[in-house]
Amino acid sequence: MKKLFLFLSITILSMSGLYAQTYDDIVSSSNRYIYSEASSGKSVMEADKQALASLSDQIIVHVSSAISLAHKKEGHQYHDENTSIVESYSSTSLTFCKRMILENGPKVYRVLRYMEMSELQKMFKDRELKVISMIDVAQKAEKELKIDQALKYYYWALCLCRTLIYPNSLKYCTPEGEDYVVLTWLPSKIQDLMDGVEVTFDTFLDEEKTEGRLNIDYKGQPISSLDYSYFDGIAWSSITSANSGIAAFELRADAEVSQIQFKIEYTYESEAHVDMEVSQVLSLIDAQAFKESFKNVPLKRTEKPSRKQEKLIGEKPREKQANTQTLGEFAVNNQDLNQVISAIKKKDYACVQSLFTEEGYKEFNQLICYGKAKVLADPVFKSMQVGDFKYFRSIPMQFSFSNNEKVFIENVVFCVDNEGKIDGINFALEQQTIDDIISKPDWDDYRKAVLINFLESYKTAFALARKDYLESIFSDDALIIVGQVVKPVVVENQIKGSDQVVYHRYTKGEYMKNLERSFDSKEYINIKFANLDISRMAKGEGEIFCVQIKQDYYSSNYGDSGYLCLLLDLEDPQKPIIHVRAWQPKPDENFGIFGPGDF
């Protein structure tokens, strides 16, 4: 618990620190401070507004001077884009401004706004560090074939790099030890990624040939994820998410097209609100176009070598363990599931109710209600057994939402009990996450299957708002920590600092109430996992696992990315229990990411 108390203490201190500067200190040190004073007969707010506006003008002069000097040193001329660059810094810099109320009325209100010169340099350096951290995230995503995440963070890093004071000086060292100048390397990196994406027509899904399926590979391998839009002959579609090498399209009934114009998404302006600095930069500078983002896809079948089937466990069949089965690596057929898929296609759901348990049919209805479910391929299931339940993986389905443009593709997993009834439905993990679990050399297949099933159930519980399930997997005394980025509050006669991450501790009851309110306010929730790391903290009875994973959270009215840490008790694999859930928006500068031994 030591680190827990440490970070709570650090948070409290960072939010409550006061500055001891006096008015005379500030106005007599023009080489150390930028400041502006204003007065008004109306209110403190009016005086503060005037002081802030004046200070902003001064900051613009200082930033512009710094940029002009930097360009002069590099032998470049000052150009029009520099105006936008200055604006991006001047607004960001206001988060570093402090305030001093000199007179608080009732006839006159005087306010001093100021910031240290050193904060400008820190602001410049912070943006460089953000560029590097985004490239790090993109590099990991690229290795996992999450092309959407890779493109997003490469492009955002490029836009931020264009606004650096010395944009041609920043270098990035790859894991292979190669140094690149970021400003020239990133465009070619983005181009290479797009060039590596191959989109081919697979099949039509209806007799009218208005709905179809595409295959999307990256350098010969099915991509994990990619966002795209397409031209249906009249207009561009909404942004759609491809999954596991499968994408979908839908043409207008009267459209007569022989090929599809396909566009890879890479700017992600609609998601930039999660980082206000990125959001502002994207709004101020001209977007950089990449012709490689466009693909023409003929609507005819191209003969290609069949894709290699992923093996879930091992390279060859293994013997069954007592009371368990390993994950299957061969296709299986289940007539009941085939009927369910057929019912979804026909939208005749009641005809298969007898194939479900009561709870299973409830989850089936939740699935169908989640975004107009549409089957994208005939089922080719793989089997997996955990205890008394057999899991059939997986069928690709598309989900779209009436009040939102986002379209997702998820691979759906069916859970069948020992009487042959469908008892539950999950959204599958991304293949890379499964591979991360499979790669653990010292764990038996049963525990790997349990962990895969747990993470899929956890992910699906958020998507389908399964409050009862989530309540059942948290221990009554669970430690729940949520990190939140907050804007600093201006308090009378105190200062305004930069954004802070504040950590809140919740009881299970408090967390579940917050979760219920969140579920009620959202049309949909979709979660993606990446960068999984699982460590075993105890052996024998009451095994505890620490799950660390990067989580991307999307919903109809909110989205974020962060790091999730779970302490998971698998003493009873059929009833996993979470003792600790900690979420943070980014690695903490004092302790990094929550992990084993922190609680």
363 within some domain: yes
Q: Is 432 left (phi over 0), alpha (psi -120 to 50) or beta?
A: alpha
What is the chain's length?
Answer: 599
Shared domain for 541 and 500, answered yes or no, is: yes
Average pLDDT over residues 71-81: 57
Q: How many domains does the chain divide into?
A: 3
Average pLDDT over residues 259-284: 87
pLDDT at 304 over 70: no
Shared domain for 443 and 483, answered yes or no, is: no
Binned at pLDDT 50, 70 and 90, residue 192 comes out as very high
- Pairwise pLDDT comparison (436 vs 547), residue with the higher score: 547
Task: Please count the CA atoms within 13 angstroms of the CA of 575 that sit on its side-chain side.
Answer: 6
Helix (H) or strand (E) holding 492: none
Per-residue confidence (pLDDT) for residue 527, from 0 to 100: 85
The whole-angstrom separation of Cα 594 and Cα 548 is 8
Domain boundary among 88, 121, 154: 121
Per-residue confidence (pLDDT) for residue 542, from 0 to 100: 57
Q: What angle do CA 561, 3, 583 make, to 5 degrees?
A: 20
Shared domain for 484 and 573, answered yes or no, is: yes
pLDDT at 281 over 80: yes
Shared domain for 589 and 485, answered yes or no, is: yes
8 within some domain: no
pLDDT at 501 over 70: no
Contact 36, 58 (CB under 8 A): yes
264 within some domain: no
Whole-number mean pLDDT of the chain?
Answer: 81
Domain boundary among 89, 121, 153: 121
Map tokens 């109430």 to a residue.
Answer: 513
For 18-53, how does the pLDDT look when each residue is reduced to its tens digit (9 = 90+)? 344 688 888 888 788 888 889 988 898 889 888 888
Task: Please count the CA atoms within 13 angstroms of the CA of 208 that sit on its side-chain side.
Answer: 8
Q: Is 498 exposed, middle or buried (0-12, 13-18, 19+ CB in 10 A)?
A: middle
Per-residue confidence (pLDDT) for residue 99, from 0 to 100: 87
398: CATH: 3.10.450
Binned at pLDDT 50, 70 and 90, residue 533 comes out as confident
Which of the listed ranges 330-339, 472-481, 533-542 does the model predict with the highest average pLDDT?
472-481
Shared domain for 471 and 418, answered yes or no, is: no
Contact 205, 211 (CB under 8 A): yes
Residue 86 belongs to domain spanning: 26-121
Per-residue confidence (pLDDT) for residue 307, from 0 to 100: 52
Binned at pLDDT 50, 70 and 90, residue 497 comes out as very low
Shared domain for 443 and 489, answered yes or no, is: no
Per-residue confidence (pLDDT) for residue 209, from 0 to 100: 86
For 307-345, how does the pLDDT look when each residue is reduced to its tens digit (9 = 90+)? 544 444 333 333 333 333 445 544 556 788 989 999 998
| pTM for the structure as a whole | 0.73
The whole-angstrom separation of Cα 241 and Cα 226 is 6
Structure tokens at 534: 């699982």
Shared domain for 482 and 577, answered yes or no, is: yes
244 within some domain: no
Helix (H) or strand (E) holding 270: none
- Pairwise pLDDT comparison (70 vs 110), residue with the higher score: 110
Per-residue confidence (pLDDT) for residue 196, from 0 to 100: 96
